[in-house]
């Protein structure tokens, strides 16, 4: 089976920064058509401007995917630009500190809305489109689409200050499994990639501000280093490709072995 995604059309959310941007760049380099979606329109314009003009492979859509109308508009914009959608990567995520003893702290609901419900609603809308286009094309055999959610090892290895983030990651993992079962009869695969500490802008800032954090993360990671967003992008490509044609409902962990250890470690970034 091929790992190629050339010629496929992908919607990638959270693609103005971080993991989402790394996945979008990775897909574009491998010949996919990509609709980059994020709330940060300025960053999207900066990222897509030249590529959009030169190749037509990259388009962007700015909006808040917590709003149902935005979900519908994103899907319409993708169909207008590329006529179809084959892959959805839900990489839009947020991390907030939660006070676990404050009943007025609303970060749990906020992060569920951002990290799970937005991905769930977009997945449902995209899955319906995938089913419709397969019927219109007369495709009766084989997979017709792939959905990949970007999750976190915080679903399994929590931190006292990350109650809301951990709950939202765990909810996304379970949504992945449930959707995989629900959409399997329609020939759509649903998987997730859960990552540990990556060298992101937020982690770089934390490493500068917190003495000994780099050493602590490395000691908690069997492979002894901090990962890169490109390594997550490679796992996403595998799950989106025909090479993973018999893989669904899986949460692949990209963390250098960190979740294999028993101790409670520092927060995932």
Cβ pair 209, 268 in contact under 8 A:
no
Q: What is the DSSP letter of 198?
A: B
Q: How many CB atoms lie under 10 A from the CB of residue 14?
A: 28
Euclidean distance between CA atoms 1 and 174, whole angstroms: 28
- The active-site residue out of 27, 165, 168, 259 is 165
165 in catalytic set: yes
Which residue, 83, 184, 172, is CA-closest to 122?
Answer: 172
For 36-89, give the DSSP string. Answer: EEES-HHHHHHHHHHHHHHTS-EEEEE--TTSHHHHHHHHHHHHHHHS---EEE
Euclidean distance between CA atoms 226 and 15, whole angstroms: 21
Token pair belonging to 193: 């990639």
Euclidean distance between CA atoms 267 and 260, whole angstroms: 15
Which active-site residues does the annotation give?
165
């Amino acid at each position: 089976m091929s790992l190629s995604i050339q010629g496929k059309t992908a919607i990638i959310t959270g693609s103005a920064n971080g993991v989402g941007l790394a996945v979008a760049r990775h897909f574009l380099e491998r010949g996919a058509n990509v609709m980059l979606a994020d709330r940060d329109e300025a960053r999207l314009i900066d990222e897509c401007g030249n590529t959009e003009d030169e190749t037509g492979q990259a388009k962007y859509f700015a909006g808040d995917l917590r709003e149902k109308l935005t979900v519908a508009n994103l899907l319409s914009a993708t169909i207008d630009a590329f006529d179809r959608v084959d892959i959805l990567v839900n990489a839009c995520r947020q991390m907030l500190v939660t006070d676990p003893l404050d009943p007025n702290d609303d970060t749990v609901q906020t992060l569920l809305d951002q990290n799970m419900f937005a991905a769930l609603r977009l997945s449902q809308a995209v899955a319906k489109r995938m089913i419709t286009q397969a019927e219109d094309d007369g495709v009766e055999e084989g997979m017709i689409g792939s959905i990949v959610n970007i999750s976190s090892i915080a679903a399994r290895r929590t931190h006292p200050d990350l109650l809301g983030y951990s709950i939202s990651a765990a909810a996304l993992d379970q949504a992945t499994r449930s959707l995989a079962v629900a959409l399997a009869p329609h020939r759509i695969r649903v998987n997730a990639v859960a990552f540990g500490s990556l060298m992101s802008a937020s982690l770089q800032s934390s490493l500068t501000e917190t003495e000994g954090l780099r050493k602590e993360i490395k000691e908690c990671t069997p492979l002894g280093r901090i990962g890169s967003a490109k390594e997550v992008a490679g796992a996403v490509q595998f799950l989106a490709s025909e090479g993973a044609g018999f893989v669904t409902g899986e949460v692949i962990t990209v963390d250098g072995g960190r979740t294999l250890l028993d101790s409670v470690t520092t927060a995932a970034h």
